[in-house]
Amino acid sequence: MPHIQQLSSHVADLIAAGEVVERPASVVKELVENAIDAGASAIVVEIQRGGMGLIRVTDNGCGIAPEELPTAFLRHATSKLRTAEDLAKIGTLGFRGEALAAISAVSRVDVLTRRPGDTTGSAIHGEGGHMEPVREEGAPEGTTIRVADLFYNTPARLKFMKKDSAETAAVAGLMQHLALSHPDVSFKWNPPCTPPWAGNSPKRWCRYRVGAGTSRCGAL
Ligand SMILES: Nc1ncnc2c1ncn2[C@@H]1O[C@H](COP(=O)(O)OP(=O)(O)OP(=O)(O)O)[C@@H](O)[C@H]1O
Ligand SMILES: [Mg+2]
């Protein structure tokens, strides 16, 4: 047997990321749960190539403070938990402080965010877990997180991805589940409502507003 050695933090982070992010639907789940925890009443989800090319989640929630933006991408960094006692009374969907760190470790990430009341927004870009400095930028209230080239730096994981259509179907199932379990939140997403006879155009979106008694597909 080779000698026992402690893994570098880079390799350990990639392994930990694999536990959180198995496929595009895992990324969508984590980002939408963050948006719900942020108090969003409207969430837009966009994907390309089954989420392997691009995932973008936009919310109108509480936003992230510019000085806390880099911290959000560190492992075990959360605003939802402070002490061991808090573990007994979790009231949010997330609490581990792992999701953004995991997602950013295996993709190229961009965040644009502004808190209600702030005059300007802020943005950050990261690749493979390395986050660049925060920039000041104009932004609508809330947060947009864009995840591109998922698993670009983990070829072993990339090899096990299913066809784009299968990944899209997994995201579609997840979106229905999320919309049904959060009737107070308006969800809009593309492209799974495109019926087989519609071809590539027009661009179609799926809108869920369960609480309002509607769940429908519509063309934008
Ligand atoms: N869309 C968002 N709007 C506002 N704040 C956000 C958003 N997404 C993330 N955050 C902030 O970033 C922190 C880190 O997010 P992350 O998803 O990594 O951890 P978490 O949600 O606390 O726990 P978990 O890993 O279980 O999801 C959150 O605790 C929250 O404060
Ligand atoms: Mg989270």
Residue nearest to atom 12 of ligand 1 (CA): 72
pTM above 0.85, yes or no: yes
The string of pLDDT tens digits covering residues 13-66 is: 888 888 899 999 999 999 999 999 999 999 999 999 999 999 999 999 999 999
Residue 13, ligand 1, Cβ within 6 A: no
Per-residue pLDDT band for 116 (boundaries 50, 70, 90) equals: very high
Neighbours of ion ligand 2 (CB under 5 A): 34, 94, 99
Q: Which residues pair with 122 in a beta bridge?
A: 113, 136
What is the residue-averaged pLDDT of the chain? 88
Instruction: Indicate whether residue 35 lines ligand 1 (CB < 6 A).
Output: yes
Which two structure tokens, joined as six digits, stand for 131? 């986050």
Q: Is the CB of 95 inside a 6 Å radius of any atom of ligand 1?
A: yes
Confidence class for position 94, pLDDT limits 50, 70, 90: very high
User: 121-150 as b/e, with b when 16 or more CB fall inside 10 Å?
Assistant: bbbbbbbbbebeebeeeebebbbbbbbbbb
HEC profile for the chain? CCCCCCCCHHHHHHHHHHHHCCCHHHHHHHHHHHHHHCCCCEEEEEEEHHHCCEEEEEECCCCCCHHHHHHHCCCCCCCCCCCHHHHHHCCCCCCCCCHHHHHHHCCEEEEEEECCCCCCEEEEEEECCEECCCEEECCCCEEEEEEECCCCCCHHHHHCCCCHHHHHHHHHHHHHHHHHHCCCCEEEEECCCCCHHHCCCCCEEEEEECCCCEEEEEEC
**pLDDT given at position 204:** 58
132-171, pLDDT tens digit by residue? 999 999 999 999 999 999 999 998 888 888 888 999 999 9
Report the DSSP pairing between strands 42-48 and 186-190: parallel
Residue type, 2: P
